[in-house]
Structures are given as structure tokens and as C-alpha cells.
Structure 1
Amino acid sequence: MTKKYIYSNLTIKNRSFFKRFSHNKRFQKALELVSFNDESSVLDFGTGDGYFLSLLREKTKAKISGYEPVDDMFEQLENNISDSSINLINNLENVSDKFNTIYCLEVLEHFSEEYQSKLINEIKNKLKPNGKIVISVPVEVGFASLLKNIVRVSISQLERDTNFKNIIKALFYRDIQRSKKDNYFLTHIGFNYKKLENVFEKESLKRINKVFSPLSFLRTLNTQVFYVLKLKE
């Protein structure tokens, strides 16, 4: 069973209608937040299986690149993306190009604040002047986290570290000891997007827009939050 199969069945092909709806709307929202022209250059940072790259290509003729540093996932990416106009990158240090728009979708929640800063600096170093960064992360605290965890329990798709104590901690924005391998957190439960906003400030990123998804009018009751950012002048 490949990683692509696993990821797809957890997201856009999940047996749960709610999860399918949430993730499909997430990709749709990502496409709506930034406009492109044929001369634009776009990087998907942490592209995984490359599904979002295919959606980008359907929308625009811009120059598209996808960066995936994990070797076995990069192999899957190469198998998934046959369009030669999409540049696939395994080592960002070998790339001299800079980009008008850089996406980083559902990546930063898996890392500590220190490592988030490291990744954000890698992104900043590849951004053109006046370029935009689009970041999305899951909402895993507050009442939204309670609703999410109720759904996870009801469909038997529990996050690692899910238990009554941690569900209550997440509800009240309390820190949770999340399972970790090397620098990578293996679970979403308890991730606090508000702390990520402090990292943006620390790394001199100015917020242009903040949008919740899939139903923006519900605000913090949503499953994901998007940020459109640029470098502070």
C-alpha cells in the first residue's frame, strides 16, 4: 500500500462525507486566495503526493514547482505527476529560482515552533520581492476541536494520542504532549494555530488575509485556517 493511497483515503477519498467535504473545500480555498497570470511562478512547499500541483495546472499556465523533501514520498510524487511542465524538487538548496507565490498547506502543524521558524525562513529565502505566502493548518483547539474529535470517534478514525484527557485539553487550549518521531509530530490533536501566528510575527511576516475553511462564516468552528502573508517592509 503506497503513501498516496493512505493519504488519499484519509482526505479527499475518505469514507466520511465530512472529511471529504472539508479537504476538497480546503484545496478549492487555496486556489481562490491568490490570482495568477501566465508569467507567475508558484511553489508548493511540502507538496506530498502532488495532488495540489495537478489542481494548480488545471487553473493556470504559470510556472509550477513542487517541493517534497521526504525521499519515499518524492518517489510517489514522481509517479503521480507526469506533466513535464511541472518542476519536481527534492532538494531546495539546488534551486536558485524565486517564486511569486509559495504555498505551504497542512505542513507546519507537524513541527515545533523552532522548526516552524526554520521552514518559514526557507520559504522566505525563495520568495520574490512582493511575493505572497499561503499557509494552511488545521484548527485543533477550542470548540472546533471537540466537534472534530467527536466525528473521529464516531467514524473510528482516531488521531494518535486521542483520549478523553487530551480532548478536554484541546477544547481549553491546553498544551498536549504529542507523539513525535525526530522533528515530526505524528498527530494533529491539540495543535494550536494561534501560537503559529506568533511565529509569523517573530519571522517578520505581515498578514494580508486570514480565512477559515470550509465555511468561512463559521469562523473558529471550522476545520482549517488559511493565512496569506508577505514580508514586512
Structure 2
Amino acid sequence: MSYADLTWNDPNAVKRWLQHRRIRDALDQIGPDQARGLIVDFGGGDGMLAEVIQKRWPGTRVVVFEPYAEMAEAARRRLDVYPTVSVVEREVDLPPGADVIFCTEVFEHLPDVETDRALDEIDRILKAGGRLVIGVPVEVGPPALLKGLFRHWRRAGAYDADLGRIWQATTGRAPTDRPPEMLGPDRKYHSFHLGFDHRQLRRRLEERFGHARLTGSPFRIVPVFLNSEAYLTLTKPETVPHGPRRTR
């Protein structure tokens, strides 16, 4: 099954709606003035967000970073018709001075070391005063129960469909035993969302960059803990508040 089948073309209508809604909500975190600069989609997958950017703000310069070769090729096929969009697979090819960085559906898959690696690169390429928009799933509290029961119905027996772990996350304690997998020779990742805690990521972001505004999706007017998705939005200061914090 392809990435598109698992996201944009999921057989469940609610999940399809949520996936498309999260793209719109991510772009709503910035204004037209910011969209006139360089935008980086960090971990851009098959390029859907970059394509929506082009439809909303035609001609915007966008660089999609996607280290997984198969996904990067899918992004190139999707974005080939947009001359101001490029796709790169290595961090070293990311240009500095980004006005906006989007990073959606990424950090929930990253172990601690890979999280620090990503934050280091984001810090390197995002200019002072630039906007960082991070979208992640809410996997603790009431959303964990609803998502967990849906997963249990779909694939009982899987790690993220275990009723004990689902209940643990529902009570606000994200499971800590997620199994890591390899994505290429030097990258580990978590394929399961269950076990991710957006509150911990927020703390790590604020240690580096200062205050991160937290909003929910798809229902911004209700508390984040009643939403399926959370957006962490911040503006990079001239100086980093406390410096990078690395996990040993």
C-alpha cells in the first residue's frame, strides 16, 4: 500500500478529511507576507503540502526535504510542474535563510537522537525572525482512546492497538516501549504514533527557541486535548534562549 493510500486516499472518510484538513490548518499558521519568502517543508513526504502552497500562493519558492528516496521520488513526480519547487534528500543540500519551515507528521516518528538531529538542522536553516510550524498528532488523553479503539478495530494485535497501552495513553502517560525501526543505513524511526507525547516535544522546542504557541486541529476553538492534531508555532529569536539540549 502506498503512502497516498495510507493518507490522502484512506478508505475511511473521516481519516481522509482529517488528513486534508491538517494541511489547511498548517498553512493557516502563516500569513501571505511570510509566504513570499523561502519555505522549507522538512520531511515533506510525497509533496502534498508543497503542492497546496503553490495553489494558495503561486510562485512561492519551496524546498522539500525528504530523506526517504522512494518518497522523495514521489514528491518530484507530484511537483515537477512547479518550477519554483525543488526536492532534496540530504540535509547538507538544504539552503540556509528559510523564512518559514513546515514540519508536519514527522516528529512523532523520531527517536530522541533523530529528534535532536532534526532540530539542529531546523535551527541551522531557519533565519532569525523566521516562523517554524510543527504539526504532530495528539496521542494522549481522550484522542488516544478514540484513535486506539479505531486501530484496535482495524488491526487488533498490533503495538498501537493493544488495549493496555491505549488506556495508559488515555490517562496521559504515553507508553515508552515503542519499537524503533531503520529507515536507511543511519536513521531510526517509530512507525507507530502511540507512545508520542506532544507535550515533551513542546518542552524541547521551547528550550531551544522560546515560547511555542499550541493550537489544535481540526477544531481550533476547543482545547488541544480534544483535538486529533496539535500545531506548535514559534518565531526564532535573534539568540537561542538556552541552546540545544541533547539526549545522551
**Shared fold (TM-score greater than 0.5)?**
yes
**Which residue matches 2:190?**
185
1:215 aligns with 2:213: no
Which one of 2, 7, 12 corresponds to residue 11 of structure 1?
7
**Which residue matches 1:133?**
132
Cα 1:151–1:96 change in 2 (3 A) is closer
Cα 1:168–1:160 change in 2 (3 A) is same
**Which residue matches 2:146?**
147
Q: Give ranges in structure 1 of 5+ residues lacking alignment.
A: none
Instruction: Confirm or deny: 8 A CA contact 1:210 1:225 kept in the other structure.
Output: yes
Which one of 65, 68, 72 corresponds to residue 67 of structure 1?
65
Q: CA deviation digits over 1:4-36, x for unaligned, max 9?
A: xx2222222211122112111101101111013
Cα 1:79–1:160 change in 2 (3 A) is farther
Number of residue pairs the alignment of both structures matches: 227
Instruction: Confirm or deny: 8 A CA contact 1:169 1:190 kept in the other structure.
Output: no
Q: Give ranges in structure 2 of 5+ residues lacking alignment.
A: 183-187, 240-248
Residue type matched to 2:126 in 1? Answer: L
Of all paired residues, the percent bearing the same amino acid is: 25
Instruction: Confirm or deny: 8 A CA contact 2:67 2:89 kept in the other structure.
Output: yes
Taking structure 1 as the reference length, what is the TM-score of the superposition? 0.90
Instruction: Confirm or deny: 8 A CA contact 1:138 1:224 kept in the other structure.
Output: yes
Structure 1 position 159, deviation (Å): 9.2
CA RMSD of aligned residues (A): 1.9
Distance across 2 between alignment mates of 1:52 and 1:204: 24
Counterparts of 1:159-170 in structure 2, within 5 Å, are: 160-161=158-159, 162-170=161-169
Segment drifting more, 130-139 vs 15-24 = 15-24
Residue type matched to 1:15 in 2? Answer: P
Cα 1:97–1:72 change in 2 (3 A) is same
1:78 aligns with 2:73: no
